[in-house]
């Protein structure tokens, strides 16, 4: 495969345009080696390679200030709505559909860089200062292509994953509801043999656990797709809601003492169901990780502008390095993983934060060996 016009004074941008077919053929050969499934034609293999290369040449020819060059070299330069950015995004989305993983897509650019560098230096054995600078501009532009492509690739993959989880969670609700109704029917007196009653009761608890997991999953996917967790505020007393939840968890765990202390104005407009959800999550979390036999204290303090809810437990402190990621989705502390209760996806604290934000609030944690942990 021969090269086109060369010359010891030719600039790299012109060299790429003159030898475009040679470069694209090398790109095509690389894509063919890593293709998943039946090998398509040249158009699919090359995808947006020529458009991206021409955009790179245009970027190399454009005037660049010293601050812009420094920003690019440090990876801080943000592409605007440019031809290069659009081409990189289009290529990334095509490679997602083609079945590439992000590593293979990045390898395409690595191969492109190596190919251009090789044939360029072969044609310019003793480069001039401007030609060396051209290679720097080429690498800067290619790095921008890689960054834009990776961002587009990962965003599409993540979005597809979240949509899939949302559809899965939604579609599982109906069969689970049918199973729960059948379980309630079996639980009626005389429906099953006496020795099967505990089994039916356990089936009902499993259904409730799965329903809670699906609720968490749907809340998570909703927030990750750009929608806030929905809330329907109405007039209610946060004290009444909190007292109901405390009484319920006290009945479920009679060996532990749950204390509720309330002061100030506690009437307001909140989503009753979401309040129950956040209080239940925090109390269950405190019961799970608190010191055995120690009390769990919930304090409500309100005024005309806001209410503060604080849930406190004694026990081992949360490691300092974990405090910053505690409210991130799917994050569980390694020391707590073995004690994770059935029916938990590790989304509880993340959803607590989303509920607080949806009520124009916030949530944080303080934890030390001296005073315990307070959310």
Helix, coil or strand: residue 292 = coil
Cβ pair 211, 180 in contact under 8 A? yes
Pairwise CA distance, residues 310 & 298, whole Å: 6
pLDDT (average), residues 57-78: 69
pLDDT (average), residues 344-370: 84
User: What distance lies between CA 64 and its chain's CA centroid?
Assistant: 35
Q: What is the pLDDT of residue 1?
A: 37
Q: At what angle do helices 197-224 and 129-186 cross, to 10 degrees?
A: 150
Cβ pair 274, 229 in contact under 8 A? yes
Q: Is the pLDDT of residue 177 over 90?
A: no
Pairwise CA distance, residues 357 & 365, whole Å: 15
Sequence-ordered strand ranges (E) for 245-295: 258-264, 267-270
Cβ pair 11, 130 in contact under 8 A? yes
Q: Is the pLDDT of residue 234 over 90?
A: yes
Give 308's strand partners.
Answer: 301
Residue showing tokens 């909190």 = 242
Whether the pTM exceeds 0.75: the reply is: no
Calculate ∠ Cα 359-360-363, nearest 5°: 85
How do residues 279-313 score in pLDDT, each as one tens digit? 988 998 899 889 988 999 999 999 988 999 999 99
Q: What is the pLDDT of residue 213?
A: 73
CA–CA distances in Å: residue 7 to residues 127, 143, 331: 10, 27, 58
Helix, coil or strand: residue 298 = strand
88 pLDDT tier (thresholds 50, 70, 90): confident
Contacts of 35 (CB under 8 A, 6+ apart): 45, 98
Task: Tell me which of 27-41, 71-85, 116-130, 261-275 is least confident.
Answer: 71-85
pLDDT (average), residues 322-339: 60
Q: What is the pLDDT of residue 322?
A: 81
Residue 52 vs residue 301, higher pLDDT: 301
H or E stretch covering 110: helix 102-123
Pairwise CA distance, residues 375 & 362, whole Å: 11
The top-scoring range by mean pLDDT among 21-35, 52-66, 173-187 is 21-35
Mean pLDDT of the chain: 80
235 pLDDT tier (thresholds 50, 70, 90): very high
How do residues 6-41 score in pLDDT, each as one tens digit? 445 688 888 889 889 988 888 888 888 877 667 888
Task: Tell me which of 25-39, 82-96, 171-185, 282-296 is least confident.
Answer: 171-185
Closest CA to 279 of 329, 254, 242, 238: 242
Q: What is the pLDDT of residue 3?
A: 41
DSSP at 92: H
Cβ pair 34, 104 in contact under 8 A? yes
Q: Is the pLDDT of residue 188 over 80?
A: yes
Cβ pair 365, 375 in contact under 8 A? yes
Pairwise CA distance, residues 27 & 48, whole Å: 11
Residue 80 vs residue 258, higher pLDDT: 258
Contacts of 273 (CB under 8 A, 6+ apart): none
User: What distance lies between CA 346 and its chain's CA centroid?
Assistant: 14
168 pLDDT tier (thresholds 50, 70, 90): low
Contacts of 308 (CB under 8 A, 6+ apart): 299, 300, 301, 302
Residue 165 vs residue 319, higher pLDDT: 319
Neighbours of 90 (CB within 10 A): 16
Name the percent of the chain lying above pLDDT 70. 81
Tokens of 295: 């009390």
Q: What is the pLDDT of residue 174?
A: 66
Contacts of 192 (CB under 8 A, 6+ apart): 186, 200
Q: Is the pLDDT of residue 257 over 90?
A: yes
Q: What is the pLDDT of residue 223?
A: 60
Q: Is the pLDDT of residue 336 over 70?
A: no
pLDDT (average), residues 65-78: 62
Name the percent of the chain lying above pLDDT 90. 19
């Amino acid at each position: 495969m021969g090269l086109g016009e060369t010359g010891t004074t030719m600039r790299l941008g012109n060299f790429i345009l003159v030898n475009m077919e040679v470069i694209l053929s090398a790109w095509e050969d690389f894509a063919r080696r890593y293709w998943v499934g039946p090998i398509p034609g040249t158009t699919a293999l090359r995808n947006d390679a020529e458009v991206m290369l021409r955009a790179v040449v245009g970027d190399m020819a454009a005037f660049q200030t010293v601050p812009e060059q420094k920003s690019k070299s440090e990876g801080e330069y943000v592409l605007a709505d440019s031809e290069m950015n659009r081409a990189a995004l289009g290529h990334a989305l095509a490679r997602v559909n083609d079945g590439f993983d992000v590593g293979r897509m990045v390898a395409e650019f690595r191969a492109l860089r190596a190919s251009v560098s090789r044939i360029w230096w072969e044609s310019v054995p003793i480069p001039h200062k401007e030609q060396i600078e051209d290679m720097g501009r080429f690498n800067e532009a290619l790095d921008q292509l890689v960054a834009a492509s990776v961002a587009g690739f990962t965003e599409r993959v993540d979005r597809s994953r979240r949509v899939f989880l949302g559809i899965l969670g939604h579609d599982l609700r109906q069969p689970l509801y049918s199973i729960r109704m059948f379980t309630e029917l079996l639980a009626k007196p005389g429906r099953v043999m006496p020795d099967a009653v505990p089994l039916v009761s356990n089936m009902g608890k499993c259904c409730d656990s799965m329903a809670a997991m699906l609720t968490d999953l749907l809340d998570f996917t909703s927030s990750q797709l750009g929608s806030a967790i929905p809330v329907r505020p109405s007039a209610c007393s946060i004290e009444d809601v909190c007292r109901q939840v405390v009484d319920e968890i006290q009945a479920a765990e009679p060996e532990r003492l749950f204390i509720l202390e309330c002061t100030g104005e506690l009437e307001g407009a909140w989503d009753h169901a979401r309040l129950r959800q956040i209080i239940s999550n925090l109390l269950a979390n405190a019961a799970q990780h608190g010191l055995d036999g120690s009390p769990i204290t919930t304090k409500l303090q309100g005024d005309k502008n806001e209410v503060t809810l604080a849930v406190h437990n004694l026990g081992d402190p949360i490691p300092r390095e974990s405090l910053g990621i505690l409210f991130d989705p799917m994050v569980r502390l390694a020391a707590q993983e073995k004690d994770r209760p059935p029916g938990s996806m590790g989304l509880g604290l993340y959803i607590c934060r989303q509920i607080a934000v949806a009520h124009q609030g916030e949530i944080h944690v303080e934890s030390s060996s001296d005073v315990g942990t307070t959310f």
